Structure 1
């Protein structure tokens, strides 16, 4: 009696694999679930991993914004405007200090009451203000230049710069500092927004 002859009615018939099974252990019509026995699918709700590396989920663009947001760009322009105003103010203060110092030696100016009130103002203070204006100018220029590559530390520094500038615009430079105050407030708001945070905190490779 031959067990291997399929035409023999008395012989042992070869066993057939279960319906739906695959001799290689894969599910029909799908991929094997990694980490589970062959022939079994992963439980419902458990995502199957892709080939090679686990899938990563990101909220938004993982690389951050590729171009500078409009609000950040506007804040950068305002820094340049503040730098220009500081340059003009420094020049005016220096010219005023030189003019007052030279006029004090003129005999005609000694009889001018209004000029004498101006001459009582220390000339050295005007030079100090001029030096401060130049230093603030340089500070604003450095911040503006670094906006393209600076990180979150630059963002925080810019906000501090803007807040101090706004306060100085209110006192003691009330009249000439009004424009500085408005620009500084806008800079602090634009840089402090979510778009500003995303720009300065974006990954750098």
Structure 2
């Protein structure tokens, strides 16, 4: 049995404290800390990647902006009431087609439409806060939900561009959330095995 070259003045090379391995073909290289996978599976991220953290912050921002949009719609309803009261317009007026139209009914329909948008913006804000809060422990459904949420955020952004430019901010942030959640690092974070 041989134990190496007995005449080597330098002795045996020291053993590495951990095995040095190059990434195997088919395994992604990840620049963030990894944990060994379960049952010899691929390594999983130990901390949330930066892109995923950024997407989470943007989700909170989109939801917060929808709270501001809700306030803007509430102010609009108040202004409609004030304008109708100040004008002293009441009763009915005759439309161009000869039909009588009740002014208060028209104002109430307008307030009802705005009320629907208030409710929609509130629901959208709550969904955004819930999804963003689930980034730490949620699975792949949170990532897919964030992408779908941001897709609707793009539509919401188009409709709200007139609200002090808030719609433009929602539009840009929604596009960035879709891009960041679609990245491989985010997918690996949300698809990691859980204890």
Give TM class, smaller chain.
Answer: 0.5 to 0.7
- The residue aligned with 2:171 is 181
- The alpha-carbon deviation at position 151 of structure 1 amounts to 0.5
User: What secondary structure sits across from 1:105 in the alignment?
Assistant: helix
User: What secondary structure sits across from 2:45 in the alignment?
Assistant: coil
User: What secondary structure sits across from 2:162 in the alignment?
Assistant: coil
- The alpha-carbon deviation at position 75 of structure 1 amounts to 0.5
User: What secondary structure sits across from 2:135 in the alignment?
Assistant: helix
Q: In 1, distance between residues paired with 2:85 and 2:141?
A: 51
Q: In 2, distance between residues paired with 1:165 and 1:201?
A: 24
Contact preservation (8 Å) 1:103, 1:109: no
**Partner residue of 1:143 out of 131, 137, 153:** 131
- The residue aligned with 1:92 is 72
User: What secondary structure sits across from 1:68 in the alignment?
Assistant: coil
Provide the aligned length of Structure 1 versus Structure 2.
Answer: 145
Q: In 1, distance between residues paired with 2:59 and 2:153?
A: 11
If each structure's strand is expressed as a fraction of its own residues, which one has the higher value? 2
Q: In 1, distance between residues paired with 2:182 and 2:162?
A: 27
- The residue aligned with 1:77 is 57
- The residue aligned with 1:158 is 146
- The alpha-carbon deviation at position 67 of structure 1 amounts to 0.7
Output the aligned Cα RMSD: 2.6
| Higher RCO structure, 1 or 2 (CA under 8 Å, sep 6+) | 2
Runs ≥4 residues deviating over 2 A: 57-63, 105-110, 172-176
Structure 1 gaps, min length 5: 1-27, 31-56, 111-115
Matched, 1:133 2:113: no
If each structure's helix is expressed as a fraction of its own residues, which one has the higher value? 2
Matched, 1:66 2:46: yes
Q: In 2, distance between residues paired with 1:161 and 1:169?
A: 12
- The residue aligned with 2:97 is none
Q: In 1, distance between residues paired with 2:46 and 2:173?
A: 26
Structure 2 gaps, min length 5: 4-23, 38-42, 91-102
TM-score, normalised to structure 1's length? 0.63
Give the number of the structure whose alpha-carbon radius of gyration is greater: 1
- The alpha-carbon deviation at position 147 of structure 1 amounts to 0.3
- The alpha-carbon deviation at position 204 of structure 1 amounts to 0.8
